[in-house]
Amino acid sequence: MSEVGHQSDAFEELAMPLFDQLYNFAHWLTQNREEAEDLVQETYTKALKGFSSFQLGTNFRAWMYRILRNTFLTSRTGLKVTMTVPLEPEEDGPELAIEHDTPETILLERSNRDLLQGALDELPVYFREILVLCEVEEMSYQEIAETLSIPIGTVMSRLSRARKTLRDRLQPQSQKGSAAIAKGTNRAL
C-alpha cells in the first residue's frame, strides 16, 4: 500500500471517532445546524490535507479541535459581531413525555433548558467555547489549552469568568432584588 494510503487510513482511524464531538462543538459555536455541518466538513478537509504535519504521539483530539476553532474564527460566521435571529424556530420534533413527568415538570424543564440555552447564546464566543470544551466535551484544562493555543492559567481564569457570567445571567431578577435588600443596599425601601 502506498504512503498516502497509509496516511489516509491512519487519519480515518484517528478522526472518525471524533466526528460527533466535533459536530457538537461546531453547533455550539455556530448555533446553526447547516453551518455546523459545513464547518465540520471543512475541518476534516483541512485536517486530511495537513495530516502529514501532525506529529504522531501528540494530542490528535486537541489538534482537530484547534483546526475546527481556527476555521470557525476565520469564517464569515466566526467574525460576525451581530447575531441573527431566525424567523421560525428550529423544530427538533416532538418530545415524548415520560410517565412520571407531569405537564408542570415538563414546562419547568423546558423553561430551564431555554433559559440556559439563551444565557449560553448571549455569552461571547471565547466564554462559550471554553464552557463547551470543559463541561460538554469534558476536556482537561491541558487539552483546552492545547486546543485554544492559550496558557493553562488563561483557561482557568476564562472558565471561572465564563461560569460567573453564566451564573449571573441565570440568577432570577427576584433573587438579585432580595440580595440587595438583605445587604441593605436598596435605599429606596
State the pLDDT at residue 82.
38
Per the prediction, the chain carries an average pLDDT of 78
Q: What confidence score (pLDDT) does residue 100 get?
A: 58
Q: Are 67 and 110 in contact (CB under 8 A)?
A: no
- Of 97, 110, 154, the closest CA to residue 129 belongs to 154
Confidence of residue 39 (pLDDT cuts 50, 70, 90): very high
Classify domain 1-80 by CATH number: 1.10.1740.10
Segment 54-72 mean pLDDT: 89
CA distance 165 to 8: 43
Confirm whether 1-80 and 102-189 share one CATH topology: no
Q: Give the pLDDT mean for 158-178.
A: 77
What average pLDDT does the segment 142-168 reach? 93
Written out in words, the top-level CATH class of the domain with range 102-189 is mainly alpha
The pLDDT assigned to 183 comes to: 55
Domain boundaries, given as residue ranges, for the chain: 1-80, 102-189
> Is residue 188 predicted with pLDDT exceeding 50?
no
Tell me what pLDDT residue 91 has. Answer: 53
| pLDDT winner (highest mean) among 83-87, 92-96, 106-110 | 106-110
Neighbours of 141 (CB within 10 A): 16
